[in-house]
Structure 1
């Protein structure tokens, strides 16, 4: 059990934790929430042991290990698989010792401990985690130094997951992931067998993974049962109850003071009046938890243009005329479109946005758009283009030198920048405030089309909700790329799948996409195992073995038919078992998608708490059942392939 007892912590003279306490039982999954700047990351560093508290204590179980994602991504010649295997230091140390040990007793002890740690399946488990985070077999063999910073952070995340510490700390783990990897990570964490403390601004993630929410507010920690929506509902109820108690106490105070004022100077009532004054002195005022300041902004209304506002006709786009990234695209965008782009990183989602934004020209084909079309493009590096020495007002004045200051201040105000904040230097703004400023800058000309590439990376939950509401009211078109499935579900009514050089409409929602990815991963793992098995068989074959056996005398037609019938009869049970397991997997995935859809529905959290608890447990049970069934399916598939190979050799 992790116990935080009366923790006081100051950073730069500012008190982040003031006598904060919490108890986290073993095996619970905790979502740590609070507004930006309240100290969530600092609290994780305290639990990890990187910093010390000014007061209070942090205690763990006698043998509990604590782990987190490395702050610096690896960058050397070792492949990702080697880095991930090395992340489990106990396993790595025992493996190294077993390779050099000479004492038979020690060798036996080492192999027993390695067996307890699952060393025989360590490499397969590490490869599976890397695959889930987007590394195919070829990428797992490349030197880590060849990857970008974002991909190296994925290696660091894979290492933390593989090490499986007793207490795992994750701080915004999806920030460097695409939607596909974020969906995999969500499924993985839902069945994490040990204690997990997760900091995230992804509302969907916080609804589906944690068993409790730990709220950091005003220097205190409060633990709530359930996911984020459940936490919000319970907190609203608690605040309403506190307000009711405060109103009752104020009425009681007024009644007592009325008695004192009437009888203070009457000798017969003086004693009673003094008694009531002492009662007032002993009455503890009921404090009401302050409301979090709300964030809101609205997008400017564009002029209506006739459809389509963008049309591609057999267009190709890329950076090298001889190697287009996307080919022969025929797409259109209308003013009322809300489109989310699906597809793993590297398939061309950002390239497509750059084409729509006019940053790239078609290599061939045509792109048609009205001459009046204004496009607002929020790129992943938009925040990096802000000048830290300028204020928000000075930044927009540099882009609009002829505009009146009152007009520019009014525009900034629509994005949550009142006068004082508009005059604050950008260097002093938080990441979320910089993101809102970047969005304000691209919207200054009332765009008809908004292109948003990971707009929520630095937004907290309230700011993300404000963005969702602003997009719902926006009268222009939106094309969005995001790793946040909640944002996709809340904003998009059309999905485009960017894959293999093509862009096609995807018929379904995020749950359907998740099911498709899981099915493809199962098939890919089965194919990889089959290839590995065939390669191993080829490697152990005698060197002088003939390439092909000498041709046998043709069998009589009747005997040949009988042999084929017997072979089919022998393989039938294996085929049936494989098919039944595949059907069961599809059914389990569909059921989990249905349950997760209910958990993602805010209305679920307004109903009975028992139903919410049942749904949460059912989702976890289904995740475990899917994993077990998947393993059984792979085993049955391998058995079928082995039997088919034996029949072929016979």
Structure 2
């Protein structure tokens, strides 16, 4: 379907790809992963629109390849008042109308040859889309995604998550034989995430999906494409197998590196000894031996292991370890109401105490974003943040917290960093480095913007963090680093999140938004609800054990306890096979 051969592309200050090669076969479902800012979205755009770019190498597409694309940020036309069914059937109806118009022209035209060519092209396109069965196919897709009851609902009444699923469904219905999805899971609630999983697994064509979602990675793909440091790793298999393979390869390379270092040290000592003898005795044989050993040493140094897919960029997120008095109310909501055409939230009341970590969870379209926006603005009569409590915010709203017209350097200078070196050193911990520091904030990837906001928050002494979808767009390693940082943070946290792992691992309790109100529930009860309603309990329990094993493997690597690493890797392999 797609073949990439020795592709190189970049900017004056940064090479994005250096002679990368990979293939995508007919029918494969491939996950495209990699660190934030590695260039995944750019590479996808190059595959779809190769004529826009100047690059070295080849992008070869099968002649039958028709590419569909669902973008990362779906912008809804507020004026579009059609129903869900009408929206999904739009392209088919347009084709039918155009075909009828051509037939009407053919009936009165003297020269029907060009019109017949138009008719044939429309007919071929309709057949390629399985147009004769489009109504049945729409019903099936809505059923698979769990949205059957929304068929006659107006687009304006849908949540953002539901609209995003419609975008994906629409591309699938057009029977493109290669469908590209750019972070389709971002901001989806648990129900819609399940719907997306079913749609992906039921799709018969070829898929290339940029995602950092652990649930999708473990359930939907039979090939992994991993982009890091300008190179691509291909892996035939699922993500669990790939991750296990990575860790075992890291262990193998570590052991090999130790052997190489020992050999290098022995050879260096021999070279030094021979050089010393050569200075004392004028003997051409000794001189030749020195040259031979030096050549051997150069070869050993040159072939030392370089593994861009083993030593991954993992941000070091450290939220300030502030001391707080427990029991104080830092945020209170009293009789909060919000409504649009109909009531969304009514009589909302809750208090957040110092040191508590609380997650607001609910389906798309239940008013969470509106509530969070009002809390962030802190000017609503029903919302009160304690005047003695310093707080910091992370928002997903454009220009809400950061001026996207400024460069990253300018933004950090405004925070009090005095030198370029201090900015470079600080942001380097967050994997924001090189060319990213000179870019305007608006040019950063979604994940890089989130990391930048997290870095800004971490530079404060805030006693309260207000976080809106903090793991959105972050790669897996950044997600896990943020989970750890929030767990260790001493202050209070209020976060809106659809990330099950973040909520389950960090929240003291959950505020569940449903039926126009909020109810408090224990994290354990929340986990059970998610197990029963959305996901498989066995999967989530196994996945938690895998995360714990990976954390222990990372720790054992740091301590250089390689026998422990080997033992834990074997346990992870057994667990990944379940």
TM-score band w.r.t. shorter chain: 0.7 to 0.9
Post-superposition offset of 1:124: 0.2
- Following superposition, the deviation at residue 497 of structure 1 comes to 1.7
Paired residue for 1:82?
Answer: 86
How far off its partner does 1:468 sit? 1.6
Measured in 1, the distance between the counterparts of 2:327 and 2:530 equals: 32
The CA distance in 2 between the partners of 1:31 and 1:129, in whole Å, is 21
* Residue among 569, 574, 578 paired with 1:611: 574
- The 1:255–1:127 alpha-carbon spacing in structure 2 relative to 1, beyond 3 Å, is same
Match of 2:360 among 341, 346, 350: 341
Partner residue, 1:240:
254
- With normalisation by structure 1, the TM-score equals 0.65
1:66 alignment partner in structure 2 = 67
1:288 equivalent in alignment to 2:288: no
In the TM superposition, 1:139-154 aligns within 5 A as 139=153, 141-142=154-155, 154=165
Q: Does 1:303 align with 2:324?
A: yes
The CA deviation at 1:472 is 1.0
Are 1:130 and 1:155, in contact at CA under 8 Å, matched by a contact in 2?
no
Q: CA deviation at 1:444?
A: 6.7
Q: Contact conserved, 2:356 with 2:492, CA < 8 A, in 1?
A: yes
Equivalent of 1:251 in 259, 265, 272: 265
Shift of 1:123: 2.3
Question: Gaps (5+ residues) in structure 2?
Answer: 105-119, 551-568
- Pair 1:380 & 2:396 matched: yes
Q: For residue 40 of structure 1, what is the aligned residue in structure 2? A: 40
Q: Distance in 2 between matches of 1:155 and 1:220?
A: 34
Does 2:184 match 1:166?
no
Distance 1:371 1:281 in 2: 65
> How far is 1:119 from its partner?
3.8
Q: Matched residue of 1:318: which SS?
A: strand
Q: Which structure carries more relative contact order (alpha carbon 8 Å, separation 6+)? A: 2
Secondary structure of the corresponding residue to residue 45 of structure 2? helix
Q: 1:196 to 1:611 in 2, by over 3 A?
A: farther
1:602 to 531, 539, 547: 547
Offset, 1:498: 0.6
**Secondary structure of the corresponding residue to residue 389 of structure 2:** coil
- Residues 1:205 and 2:216 aligned together: yes
State the number of aligned residues: 522
Distance 1:114 1:424 in 2: 45
SS at match of 2:359: strand
Query: What is the CA–CA distance in structure 2 between the aligned matches of 1:462 and 1:171, rounded to whole Å?
Result: 19
Question: What does 1:51-62 align with in structure 2 at a 5 Å threshold?
Answer: 51=51, 54-60=55-61
Equivalent residue in structure 1 for 2:372, among 353, 362, 369: 353
Structure 1: runs of 5 or more not aligned: 518-588, 616-650
Matched-pair contact (CA < 8 Å) for 2:359–2:511: yes
1:125 match: secondary structure: helix
Distance 1:514 1:190, change over 3 A: farther
CA offsets 1:302-337 (integer angstroms, 9 cap, x no match): 532424544556x242268x9763223343333343
Query: Would the alpha carbon gap of residues 161 and 413 (structure 1) be closer, same or farther in structure 2, given more than 3 Å must change?
Result: same
**Residues 1:430 and 2:444 are matched in the alignment:** yes
User: What are the Cα deviations for residues 540-583 of structure 1, in whole angstroms up to 9, with x where unaligned?
Assistant: xxxxxxxxxxxxxxxxxxxxxxxxxxxxxxxxxxxxxxxxxxxx
In 2: Cα distance, 1:111 partner to 1:162 partner: 11
Picking from 332, 337, 349, the partner of 1:317 is 337
> Which residue in 2 is equivalent to 1:540?
none
CA contact (8 A) 2:512 2:521 kept: yes
For residues 234 and 245 of structure 1, the distance between their equivalents in structure 2, rounded to whole angstroms, comes to 17
Match of 2:466 among 443, 451, 470: 451
1:593 CA displacement = 3.3
Deviation at 1:114, TM superposition (A): 8.1
Which structure 2 residues correspond to residues 151-230 of structure 1 after superposition, within 5 A?
154-175=165-186, 177-224=188-235, 225-227=237-239, 229-230=243-244
- Distance in 1 (CA, whole Å) between partners of 2:276 and 2:303 is 24
- The answer on whether the counterparts of 2:227 and 2:233 sit within 8 Å (CA) in structure 1 is yes
Other-structure match for 1:520: none
Give 1:98 deviation, angstroms: 9.5
Give TM-score scaled by structure 2 length: 0.72
Mean Cα deviation higher: 429-438 or 29-38 = 429-438
The equivalent of 1:461 in structure 2 is: 476
Equivalences for residues 131-146 of structure 1 within 5 A: 132=147, 136-139=150-153, 141-142=154-155
Do 2:83 and 2:152's aligned partners in 1 also have CA atoms closer than 8 Å?
Answer: no
Q: 1:463 to 1:502 in 2, by over 3 A?
A: same
Take 1:116 and 1:389, find their aligned partners in 2: how far apart are those partners? 46
Task: Report if aligned partners of 1:215, 1:223 keep a CA contact under 8 Å in 2.
Answer: yes
| C-alpha distance in structure 1 between counterparts of 2:34 and 2:99, whole Å | 45
1:383-427 Cα distance to aligned partner (Å, 9 max, x none):
4442356566865786x8xx8979xx89x9499589999996754
1:631-642 equivalent positions in 2, closer than 5 A: none
Q: How much does 1:227 deviate? A: 1.6
> Contact 1:297/1:415 (CA < 8 Å) preserved in 2?
no
Matched, 1:476 2:494: no
Cα distance change of structure 1 residues 474 and 66 upon mapping to structure 2, 3 Å threshold? same
Corresponding residue SS for 1:124: helix
Conserved in 1, the CA contact under 8 Å of 2:339 and 2:345?
no
Q: 1:559 aligns to what?
A: none
Secondary structure of the equivalent of 1:127? helix
Cα distance, 1:474 vs. partner? 1.0
Larger radius of gyration: 1
Shift of 1:514: 6.3
Instruction: State the match for 1:557 in structure 2.
Output: none
